[in-house]
Amino acid sequence: MAGVGKLLKQAQKMQRQMEAVQTELSGTILEVSSGGGAINVKINGQGEFQGFKIDPEFLKEDADFIEETLLSAIQEAAAKAKETSEEAMGSVTGGMGGFPGLM
C-alpha cells in the first residue's frame, strides 16, 4: 500500500502545480496582429479573449476582406493560446498528458 500513498502524493503535487500554471496562464496576455497591423487581438494563455482593436482606416475596406482578416487573427490567437497552454501543462505532466510513471 506504500506505493498507493506515494502515487497519491505525486497526484496531489501535480494538481497543485497545474493550478499554479493555470493561474499563470490566466495572467499571460498574448497579442496577435493581422492585416499588416490593422487588427490586433489580445488573448490570455487560457484562451480567453481580452480584447481587440481595429484600425479605423481598415474599416473602409471590403466587408468580406475585413471578415476574413478578423477571422484569421482570431484563429491565430486561439492557436497561439492553445500552444502556450499545452507547453506550460506539458512541463507539469512531463509531456505525457497524465501521471508520470503510469504511461
Per residue in 4-25, pLDDT (tens digit) is 888 888 888 888 888 888 888 8
For the chain, give the number of residues: 103
pTM of the model: 0.74
Instruction: Show me where the domains of the chain are located.
Output: 18-93
> What CA–CA distance (Å, rounded) separates 103 from 84?
23
> What CA–CA distance (Å, rounded) separates 7 from 101?
9
In Å, how far are 2, 15, 77, 92, 100 from 6, measured between CA atoms?
A: 6, 14, 40, 17, 12
Fold of domain 18-93: Ybab; Chain: A; (3.30.1310)
Per residue in 31-89, pLDDT (tens digit) is 999 999 999 999 999 899 999 999 999 999 999 999 999 999 999 999 999 999 998 88
Alpha helix (H) residue ranges in 1-103 = 2-27, 63-93
